[in-house]
Amino acid sequence: MRRVRYESRGGPLFVEETPVPEPGPGELLVRAEAIGVTLPVVRKVTEAAEPGPLGGEIAGEVTAVGEGVTRFDTGDRVTGLCVGHGYADFALLHEAMASPVPAGARAVDAVALVRSGLVALGALAAARPEPGETALVTAAASGVGHLAVQLARTRGAGRVVGAVSDPAKTDFVRGLGADHVVTYGDDSWGAPVDYALDAVGGELLTPALGALAPGGRLVAYSSGGGTVRAYDLLVGAKSVIGFQMARIARGKPELYERWREELWRLFAAGELHPVVHGEFALTDAAKAHAEIEARANRGKVVLIP
């Protein structure tokens, strides 16, 4: 089978031939139909000191199961987060991280919806939104952000503001349901909001915090780091909440499953529309990464083996 790897920080990515892996205890072997590309994995290639497997969301057909697997069998179509080598024709997926793909749903819909949707839904839940409150979503055109804009509306937001890196993304974000779209360099982000979902971090934390009304909540779920001044929290009685999806998956599996079911329900009802920005061949993984690095994507970037 083919597998994408890199051997040093910054790449380059290359395709190698390697044997199809055997599933271990609790694992599924999945023939990948679609593979989601994420910013954390792109950053891993450009920033990690030591090279490692390229993981991420995968969706496809189960071709073999390991000892102890009870929820799935060969022939089932599943999606989930692969923590090992995910950029491949076949990948190993732990049963606990897998969920069924409903009949009629495409693999690209699954990788665009489930993992990114779980992060968006989890960050939104961490903000504890009240009906009628106003929301700010940074990276609003990203794989997670474009779903967060829609989910904020389904959770009763009275006004949704999307923040983007490029004004060329304005129409796309408005089409998702945002009332107002700002770019990161704007002098003002408009009227204050009650909560903000930040997927960018770094220097953007300061303006995101400044966009909050007194008592507002900033949910930080970015891998981009950054710091905030305690005084900026104190003066407006604001708070910063850190959110990590892995903590929910490991510690609250029943909540994790409930969120997955909600995402598919909203998708089936036509209330949540995952957008696929581009479908790239496995051999074009470097081009897919370049789209993410350039912040050019509007929705999810997907590899199609």
Identify the top-confidence range among 142-146, 222-226, 228-232: 142-146
Amino acid at 43: R
* Helix, coil or strand: residue 271: coil
Whether residue 254 is contained in a domain is answered as no
Whether residue 267 is contained in a domain is answered as no
The pLDDT value given to residue 213: 97
- Residue 25, domain CATH: 3.90.180.10
What is the domain extent for residue 284? 2-101+275-304
What's the residue count for the chain? 305
The pLDDT value given to residue 273: 95
Q: What is the mean pLDDT of residues 56-84?
A: 95
Q: Is the pLDDT of residue 249 over 90?
A: no
Average confidence score pLDDT of the chain: 93
What's the pTM?
Answer: 0.90
Whether residue 50 is contained in a domain is answered as yes
The pLDDT value given to residue 144: 94
Q: How many domains does the chain have?
A: 2
Whether residue 183 is contained in a domain is answered as yes
Are residue 282 and residue 225 in the same domain, yes or no?
no
Phi and psi at 35, nearest 5°, equal -135, 125
The pLDDT value given to residue 133: 98
pLDDT band at 9 (very low <50, low <70, confident <90, very high): confident
Amino acid at 152: A
User: Tokens for 17?
Assistant: 């031939």
Are residue 124 and residue 222 in the same domain, yes or no?
yes
The pLDDT value given to residue 140: 97
pLDDT band at 47 (very low <50, low <70, confident <90, very high): confident
Are residue 242 and residue 291 in the same domain, yes or no?
no
Whether residue 78 is contained in a domain is answered as yes
Whether residue 269 is contained in a domain is answered as no
Are residue 81 and residue 156 in the same domain, yes or no?
no
Q: How far apart are CA 199 and CA 261, in angstroms?
A: 23
Whether residue 10 is contained in a domain is answered as yes
The pLDDT value given to residue 49: 72
Whether residue 161 is contained in a domain is answered as yes
Are residue 140 and residue 80 in the same domain, yes or no?
no
Q: How far apart are CA 54 and CA 282, in angstroms?
A: 12
Are residue 195 and residue 294 in the same domain, yes or no?
no
Are residue 6 and residue 43 in the same domain, yes or no?
yes
Number of Cβ atoms within 10 Å of the Cβ of 229: 11
